[in-house]
Structure 1
C-alpha cells in the first residue's frame, strides 16, 4: 500500500483543488477549509505496520478533529531515497520516521526542528534518559526514539526443525551459524540463510563481536580493509558452497521482507531487525522464530539494543505544535500503544511498556520475549553513526555485489569500500 492516504485526507473537491494550489500538499503544514490543519506523516515498513499505523492515526484524528493526517509509507530503501530528495528540496514531511543512521545527516543539514521548542506538548519524562539522548546532536533534541529493537536471526521454524539441524541457541558463534546454514542447505536443498555479506548491520555485529567498531568516537572509520576482507571472504565462501543465497537472490533485497530470500521461499533464514520480522508471518504461514545474532568466537556479543527508529519534525513545518501532538500521541497514548504493539519495537514509554507487556499476543509477544531473553547480556550501543554512513550503506551493498557476482575479489572490494568510506566521512 505505498502512497496510501487516510480517508480523511483530500476527501472533498474543495480540498483537492486546494492541494493543487498548494503544489501537492507538501511538508509545510497545509490547512484546509474551516481552519483544519493537514499534517504529512511518512514512515517505512511492512503492510502490518502500515495497517496498525493507519488505525492509530484514525484514533488521533478522532481525538483532534482540527487535524487531518496525510500518510505514506514504503520499503526502507525507497523511503530513504525519497526522504533525501524531499529534504534536499526543502519539502520534508511534517512528521517523519528516521533511522539511527539519518539523524546526524538531517540535523546538521537543517532539516529537523529542535523539539525542545515543543516540550510543553511533547512529553519525554517516561523515556529512559540514555535512550532519549540517542536523538540528540550536539546537545539538541532533534528526534525522539519510538521503539527499542535489536537484530535477530529470523527463521522458518517448521522447516528448520524438520531438517534435524540443531536449532539456534543463545551464545552460538559465527562458526556455529556457518555450520548450521551449511547443514540446512545440504538437508533441504535450499540455502540456509540470506547472504549477510551485503548487510552493513550484520557486518557491524560481526565486528563488535571482535571488540571492534564500525566508527570511532570522532566519526572516523573504526575498521580496516583487512577486517572487511575477512568478513567478505567468510560470506563469499558460504555463497560459493551454496550455503547462503545466490547473487541473483541477494540483489533483489530492497528493504522489504517480501523481497528477501526468506520471504521469497528461497532461503530458510534471514538476519533482520526484530520488529520488521513480523512481516514474514504473512509469507510463511507455518511460522517463524527469532534467535540471537551469532557472537564472536570467544563469546563476545556483537548485537545491541538500539532505538528501532525515531520520529522527527521538519524544520520548515507550518504547524510545529500539531506535529508534536502527533508524536506525543504515538509515544504516550495507551490506546495508541495497544494498536501499534511491537511493530516498531518495544515501546519506549516505560510505564506503557510495563503495562502492555502482559497483554501482548502473537508476534508482539514473540518480540517482547525475545528482547527479555537478552536483557543484561548485550553491550552498550554505539553512538549514532556520522552523517556519511547513510550513503555508505548503499556503497557497502554495491561493493559486495561485485564480490557475489565474482567481478571483484573480497580484498579488491574491501579496499575500494574503505577508500570511498574515508572520502565520504571527510566530506
Structure 2
C-alpha cells in the first residue's frame, strides 16, 4: 500500500497537541492497579515470534515488577494499516515496531519521541554507528534498530551444482552474475534467476555499486533517468535471452517466497533479504544456500546491513522512561537475545551478537554465518527513505511491467518514473 504522507501526520500531531492542552489528554500509557505502569507494545510477526516475544516480556516484567506490558501483533500488512490509523488518531502505542520505510514518515509527523531524552536509560554504544544512524531523521534519533539483515542471492544448491556452473563467491560483479544466469538457463532449461528489474531494492544495490544512491540526504532522487534506463535495459536484455524469469512470472511476485520463480521451481536462484529466505526451506527440498549480492564493476559493494526492523517510542507516551527501559531490554539484554534468537534478525548489539551466534541453530545459524562472511566488506547503510518511497515501490514495479511486456522502452519508462517520483517526493 502507498504510505501515508508526512503532512497528514503533522496535522494529526497538531490535533493531538491541541487535545493535550484543551482536554488534558494523558497520552497512550495507563497505570494499572497497585501502581503498575502499563505499556502498550505493538509489532508484526508470526506465531513463533509471538511465543518468543511473550517469553522475553515475562522476563522483563519479572525484572521490572512495577511495569506490565500489553502486546498486540498481526501480519505485516495489517500491522502497517493499524499503526497508521493509531498514529493518525493520536493513539500511537508506547513502544512500536517500525519498518525502515516508516521512520521518516512517523518522525516527520510528530509520532515518535526524540530518544536523546532517554539516553540515561537507553544505551546504544554497542550498536554500529552506521547502523544506528539509520534511525535518525534530521540528526535526531527517533528509532533504534532491533536486528540487522542484508540482501542475498539465494539459490537451489543441487540445481546449481548439477549445472556445472561454478558456485557464486565473494566479489563477483553484475556481469559475472549475468553470465551465470545465462549459463544456468542453458544447463537447466529454466531461467537462472528472478528478473530483478521489478525490484527497487535490487536497483538500490546496483546503484550503490556505482557509487550512487537511491535518495540524497535532502530526500530527493539520487539517480537520473539514464541510470534507471541502463538498469532496465540490462534486466530486459536478460529476460529476452531467457536468462531470468519472463514477464508472466513476474506478475505473480507479491513479496512472498511462495510466489517467486525459485519458490515455484521455475528458476534456480532469487534475490531477497536474508531473513525471509528461511521460507524457501519448505519449497526447495534439495536445499538452499546464500551468496553475497553482486558488486559494481570495480568491486564497490552495493549491499549493506539494513535494520530488519526498529523500535520507537510514542512521542506522547505518559511513561517514556518505562518505555525506554523496555526498548533497552529488547536490544541490550543477553537473556532476551537468547530467547528471541534471530526472529527479528541478527542482534545489533555487537557483544551480544558475538556471544549468541554460536548458540543459533538450523537456518538461524545459516543467516548468521552468511552475515559473518560479509562482515567488514560492506559500506554504511543509507538513511531511512523519505515518506513517498512506499508509493514509489509500487510505481517502480508498475513501470517495469511496461518494459517487461514490451509496451514501453526502458528509456521511456524510466523517464515516466522520474517524473512521478519527483512529484511524489515534493508532495
TM-score scaled by length of structure 2: 0.84
Q: Which residue of 2 aligns with 1:7?
A: none
Q: CA deviation at 1:352?
A: 0.9
Q: Given the superposition, is the C-alpha separation of residues 112 and 260 from structure 1 closer, same or farther in structure 2, using an over 3 Å criterion?
A: farther
User: Do the aligned partners of 2:131 and 2:381 also contact (CA within 8 Å) in 1?
Assistant: no
Q: CA deviation at 1:419?
A: 0.5
Q: Which residue of 1 aligns with 2:13?
A: none
Residue by residue over 1:146-196, the C-alpha shift from the partner in whole angstroms, topping out at 9 and shown as x without a partner, is 122221111122222222222111111112212222232333333322221
Q: Given the superposition, is the C-alpha separation of residues 225 and 349 from structure 1 closer, same or farther in structure 2, using an over 3 Å criterion?
A: same
Q: Given the superposition, is the C-alpha separation of residues 163 and 64 from structure 1 closer, same or farther in structure 2, using an over 3 Å criterion?
A: farther
Q: CA deviation at 1:312?
A: 0.8
Is 2:252 the counterpart of 1:266? no
Residue by residue over 1:330-360, the C-alpha shift from the partner in whole angstroms, topping out at 9 and shown as x without a partner, is 1112122112223333211122122112323
Partners of 1:425 and 1:130 in 2: CA distance: 25
Partners of 2:177 and 2:51 in 1: CA distance: 34
Structure 1 window deviating more from structure 2 (407-416 vs 198-207): it is 407-416
Structure 1 window deviating more from structure 2 (224-233 vs 241-250): it is 241-250
* Structure 1 SS opposite 2:219: coil
* Structure 2 SS opposite 1:257: coil
User: Do the aligned partners of 1:48 and 1:279 also contact (CA within 8 Å) in 2?
Assistant: no
Q: Which residue of 2 aligns with 1:379?
A: 379
Q: CA deviation at 1:311?
A: 0.9
Q: CA deviation at 1:364?
A: 2.3
Q: Given the superposition, is the C-alpha separation of residues 327 and 155 from structure 1 closer, same or farther in structure 2, using an over 3 Å criterion?
A: same
Q: Given the superposition, is the C-alpha separation of residues 97 and 228 from structure 1 closer, same or farther in structure 2, using an over 3 Å criterion?
A: same
The unaligned stretches of length 5 or more in structure 2 are 1-26
Partners of 2:135 and 2:36 in 1: CA distance: 30
* Structure 2 SS opposite 1:134: helix
Q: Which residue of 2 aligns with 1:391?
A: 391
Q: Which residue of 2 aligns with 1:313?
A: 313
Partners of 2:57 and 2:138 in 1: CA distance: 32
Q: CA deviation at 1:55?
A: 4.0
User: Do the aligned partners of 1:193 and 1:269 also contact (CA within 8 Å) in 2?
Assistant: yes
Q: Which residue of 1 aligns with 2:133?
A: 133
* Structure 2 SS opposite 1:101: helix
Q: Given the superposition, is the C-alpha separation of residues 347 and 181 from structure 1 closer, same or farther in structure 2, using an over 3 Å criterion?
A: same
Is 2:75 the counterpart of 1:67? no
User: Do the aligned partners of 1:57 and 1:69 also contact (CA within 8 Å) in 2?
Assistant: no
Q: Given the superposition, is the C-alpha separation of residues 184 and 42 from structure 1 closer, same or farther in structure 2, using an over 3 Å criterion?
A: farther
User: Do the aligned partners of 2:131 and 2:305 also contact (CA within 8 Å) in 1?
Assistant: no
Mapping of residues 192-211 of structure 1, within 5 Å: 192-211=192-211
Q: Which residue of 1 aligns with 2:87?
A: 87
Structure 1 window deviating more from structure 2 (135-144 vs 413-422): it is 135-144
Q: Which residue of 1 aligns with 2:298?
A: 298
User: Do the aligned partners of 1:197 and 1:400 also contact (CA within 8 Å) in 2?
Assistant: yes
Q: Which residue of 1 aligns with 2:359?
A: 359
Q: Given the superposition, is the C-alpha separation of residues 316 and 266 from structure 1 closer, same or farther in structure 2, using an over 3 Å criterion?
A: farther
Is 2:91 the counterpart of 1:96? no
User: Do the aligned partners of 1:278 and 1:343 also contact (CA within 8 Å) in 2?
Assistant: no
User: Do the aligned partners of 1:174 and 1:294 also contact (CA within 8 Å) in 2?
Assistant: yes
Count of residue pairs the alignment pairs up: 400
* Structure 2 SS opposite 1:145: strand
Partners of 1:106 and 1:154 in 2: CA distance: 33
Q: CA deviation at 1:315?
A: 2.1
User: Do the aligned partners of 1:38 and 1:70 also contact (CA within 8 Å) in 2?
Assistant: no
Partners of 1:257 and 1:56 in 2: CA distance: 28
Partners of 2:280 and 2:293 in 1: CA distance: 18
